[in-house]
Chain A
Amino acid sequence: MKRVGLMILGFLWLVQSQAQTPRERDEKVIADLLERLIENTEATVDYTDLQDQLEQYNKSKLNINTVSREQLQRLFFLDDAQINAIINHRQKFGNFLTLYELQTIPALDEQTIYYLTYFVTVDEDWQQDQTRFLQMLRKGKHELIGLYDTELEKRAGYDATLKDQGKSYYMGNKERYVFRYRFNYGSRLAFGYNAETDMGERFTWNSSTKGFDFNSIHFYYRPRKGIVKTIALGDYQINFGQGLTFGSGLAARKSAFVLNVRRSYLPIRPYRSLNETEFMRGAAVMLGDKKWQVVLFGSRKYISTNYNAQDTSAPQDFFSSIDLSGLHRTPTELAKSNNVLQTIVGANAQWRFKDGYVGLTHVQTNYDIAFLSGTSLYQRYNFSGTQLGNSGVDYKYQWRNMSFFGEFSISSNQAKAFTTGVAISLDPNLDVLLLYRNFAKDYQTTYNNPFSENTDGRNEKGFYTGASLRLSRKWLLNSYVDIYSSPWLRFQVDGPSRGVDVLGELQYLPSKTAQVYFRVRHEYKTKNQAGSTEKVDYLSEQSRTVFRFNAQYKMSLNVTLKSRVETTLFSDDVSTQKTGTLIFQDVNWSAPRKQFGLIFRVAYFTVEDYNARVYAAENDVLYQYSVPMYQNSGMRYYAVMRCKITRKIELWAKWSQTVYSNVNTISSGLEQINGNTVSDVRLQLRWIL
């Protein structure tokens, strides 16, 4: 009876979200989760890849009555106590009759249940789907998206006289174009085409550029039966184990999801992002059965490097750095584009047993021109040569309330790296995760994304502890401590270095419509002292503390308010403490019938120094994510409009402007703007066929 009563309450609780269409709700939940995942990130990169992972999980909803622990771990917002509670509930009471029954599980709070309903189902999931290929082609959805993006102010690189003066200049105009075509049938069949021309790049058709500067095609198919489980052609992503031996694409880093450091990804995913470097191009296939799984892949693509031709100082052609920016705006940047052929082949085999699995991976990378590392001391152990091999063993094992995971890798120079950890569900209200990693200073890879402080996955030792404590249904305490060191030098770190990163977040959910959290993040690390006039750089202890208060309140079905105050304090051994402060207010309004929506933000910021900079994630047009950096002093405003023109056509527009009060020029070099204002306009149209 209690079960039935709670189901009715659950139904009423979910009613408020029914005003939106399923597609809109899916997109909103994915955007919410992504924002939470990247809001702690302090970098401006393309997050479409992370968004794509979430979308993939959303499209291939898991049957909650058959889902495995491993599959639930991919939903990073679930902790181990919640996963245990779901599985225990299923074992104790039998299959879930409806998703509303999730509310009978005390370990699941309202927000988690809300998210979970978008990724699980009680109906047949895609694995039971028997639709044939041609039927899928008929039933699937086609989507066309066009994006136009421009800045209203002119940057120095667009000055037409630069070319005549023989100086570097931007060859294209100050407009960015994106075109996307997507076909999807759930998660079983997807194909599409994505293209982009960045601001300053030429949109032209000649021997070197074919229309857009970046073009990407993908095809992804999961057959309904047989030994072949997945086929990917064109551009795709590969992730194995903990991402130490091989992992392309973005992986979540330290965030407010403090337990989300264990990697748990689909081995093959279609690539639909616009990042121009972090993907594979070729073919991949996954074969398997209940007990085993084998992934084979091959990739062959041209990458952009600082290619140097053979001359008197160099006995052979070589390159010493790979351009990860994907920007080809100037003649110099264009000359560096797609000039070295990179070939990667690899295989992963996985044996599954009752409570875990063991996997083996080998990946071989080949360049047609030799990579020669720089001669700086910090580059001493970098890869040099034309061939690089990586092998690894990874595992996961569940024992009682403990989930063990890890990976050991070795590169072809015999350098070793390993990462291992355990997630322990100590109580339905307390989860703890411990992770130790030790990557040798000379460990070398081409693509990897293990959990680490630094992005290169080498020259690092560290111990991470994350804990999530639900004090009650309304109060949640999240925290992590990460203590790390680098035994060898790094860029701008001329000595063995160390650091500590601590986060504490107290979340309060006073009602279904309000959320408040207070967060403190403190990091200290040793780096070269900036601005030193000594002949030899020396390391100093630099500490950065960020205080954030964030409140979100849904005033009505149509209006949501969000407020934030954030202060950063930075200090080092020499200079006085520097402060950076950001205050913003968001208003999110949707018309009653959801045909039209508006989001406004007004932000005030005053930042004394680059080291005290502040980041804040912004709303954007669909499939675009931005986390701008706030520096200097001033105001930033933006407005995002969404308008459903017809049932199948939607329009987004975003206008943003930053007005600085203490500078007269913005940025430098070709990016310089003479003035104190920078404004951006984006228009995006989507047509669902």
Chain B
Amino acid sequence: MKKLFGCFLVICSLLNVVNAQVSTAIIGGDVAQLGGISAKQQSAYSAINNPALMPLLAHWQSGVYSEQRFGLKELTLSNISVVMPTKSVHIGAAINYFGFSNYNQQRFVLSAAKKLSESFSLGVQLNYQLTNIVDYGSAGAWVAGAGFMYKPTHQLTVSGFVFNPTQQKLSLAVADKIPSLFRLGLAYQVNDKVDVLAEGEQQLEQKINVRAGLRYQVHPRVGLGIGFNSNPVAVHFGTSIKFNQVMIDAAAGVHQVLGVIPQVGIRFPFKK
């Protein structure tokens, strides 16, 4: 029991040190290489990161993603996401799993987005957040999220996302908080190959996290990305490679003290 509780405390303190709540972690190897800037994410993971971005996808897409923080298998986060465009709206779904058998968090997401004009779309999200701790039990809560995307010019994209604005909590005695946050991002398309991105994320009771990144499509099949986080300070970089229609994303985040976070993902488009 002591060992278990100790393990739990280590996980909590590590998450605290890196200020990275897994329940709101940015998902997807395509944006992990940019330091987690989801301002213009054009992949299935937008279902969980910001549903208003789903209309950027013209076809069905699914994605599988996993990251292992600082090489510790107990800090592994996995995700599966899918986005389905329909005639009137885009529908998305995603599942997150973080942790190990004795301590884990799960997040189930259902999203919908509507393109209201050529330059503006809105998205909403319903989440079920579940935490399991052996000998402490399980607790879950329904959490809402909503986002927008606006393209004032062809080159510029502005997007925002709010998560848990009602400050829902879990009923567990420990780890009862579900973070509430607001994220506002900006993407500037320098040319067909290059995007410059920036994003600010404010969680309640935390310091703001400012992200900046750059994506370079060095070849039609190969993209490179680099990004920075201010809180915690970290450098991220990675690549996306296209094989036929399948996109493979590989990235790494380097924390100044704790080490490396390897991040990988695969995206499968389904064209009609």
Interface, chain A (partner B; CB < 8 A)? 424, 426-427, 429-430, 432, 434, 463, 465, 467, 469, 479, 481, 483, 485, 498, 500, 502
Chain A residues near B233 (CB, 8 Å)?
Answer: 483, 500
7 nearest CB pairs, A to B: A426-B194, A427-B190, A430-B190, A427-B191, A498-B256, A500-B233, A481-B228
Closest Cβ neighbor of B228 among chain A residues: A481
Q: When A463-B235, A500-B233 are in contact, do A434 and B226 touch as well, CB less than 8 Å? A: yes
Chain B window 182-206, contacts with chain A (Cβ cutoff 8 Å), 1 for yes, 0 for no? 0000001011011010000000000
Contact call B212/A481, Cβ cutoff below 8 A? yes
Q: Does B216 contact A (CB under 8 A)?
A: yes
Contact call B235/A426, Cβ cutoff below 8 A? no
Q: Does B214 contact A (CB under 8 A)?
A: yes
Contact call B196/A498, Cβ cutoff below 8 A? no
Chain B residues near A485 (CB, 8 Å)?
Answer: 256
Chain B residues near A430 (CB, 8 Å)?
Answer: 190, 194, 196
Contact call A467/B228, Cβ cutoff below 8 A? no
Contact call B226/A465, Cβ cutoff below 8 A? yes
Chain A residues near B190 (CB, 8 Å)?
Answer: 426-427, 429-430, 469
Q: Does B20 contact A (CB under 8 A)?
A: no
Q: Does B257 contact A (CB under 8 A)?
A: yes
Beyond the given A427-B193, A465-B228, please list 17 additional residue pairs across the A-B interface where CB-CB is below 8 A: A426-B190, A426-B191, A426-B216, A427-B191, A430-B194, A430-B196, A463-B235, A465-B226, A467-B196, A469-B190, A483-B228, A483-B233, A483-B256, A485-B256, A498-B257, A500-B230, A502-B230
Number of A-B residue pairs, CB cutoff 8 Å, is 38
The complex places the Cα of A430 from the Cα of B189 at a distance, in Å, of 11
25 A-B pairs in the complex with CB atoms less than 8 angstroms apart: A426-B190, A426-B191, A426-B193, A426-B194, A426-B216, A427-B191, A427-B193, A429-B190, A430-B190, A430-B194, A430-B196, A432-B214, A434-B226, A463-B235, A465-B226, A467-B196, A469-B196, A481-B212, A483-B228, A483-B233, A483-B235, A485-B256, A498-B256, A498-B257, A500-B233
Interface, chain B (partner A; CB < 8 A)? 188, 190-191, 193-194, 196, 212, 214, 216, 226, 228, 230, 233, 235, 256-257
Among A463, A467, A500, A502, contact of B214 (Cβ-Cβ < 8 Å): A467
Closest Cβ neighbor of A485 among chain B residues: B256
The complex places the Cα of A490 from the Cα of B267 at a distance, in Å, of 47
The complex places the Cα of A502 from the Cα of B230 at a distance, in Å, of 10
The majority secondary structure among interface residues of chain A is: strand
The complex places the Cα of A530 from the Cα of B191 at a distance, in Å, of 49
Query: B211: shortest Cβ distance to chain A, in Å?
Result: 11
Contact call A479/B212, Cβ cutoff below 8 A? yes
Chain A residues near B235 (CB, 8 Å)?
Answer: 463, 483
Q: When A463-B235, A485-B256, A498-B256 are in contact, do A427 and B226 touch as well, CB less than 8 Å? A: no
The complex places the Cα of A530 from the Cα of B256 at a distance, in Å, of 23
Q: When A483-B235, A483-B256, A498-B257 are in contact, do A427 and B194 touch as well, CB less than 8 Å? A: yes
The complex places the Cα of A337 from the Cα of B193 at a distance, in Å, of 59
Chain A residues near B257 (CB, 8 Å)?
Answer: 498
Closest Cβ neighbor of A463 among chain B residues: B235
The complex places the Cα of A430 from the Cα of B235 at a distance, in Å, of 20
The complex places the Cα of A334 from the Cα of B114 at a distance, in Å, of 80
Query: A524: shortest Cβ distance to chain B, in Å?
Result: 8
The complex places the Cα of A465 from the Cα of B228 at a distance, in Å, of 10
The complex places the Cα of A485 from the Cα of B234 at a distance, in Å, of 13
The complex places the Cα of A465 from the Cα of B233 at a distance, in Å, of 14
Closest Cβ neighbor of B196 among chain A residues: A469
The complex places the Cα of A434 from the Cα of B235 at a distance, in Å, of 12
Chain A residues near B191 (CB, 8 Å)?
Answer: 426-427
The complex places the Cα of A485 from the Cα of B259 at a distance, in Å, of 13
The complex places the Cα of A469 from the Cα of B235 at a distance, in Å, of 20
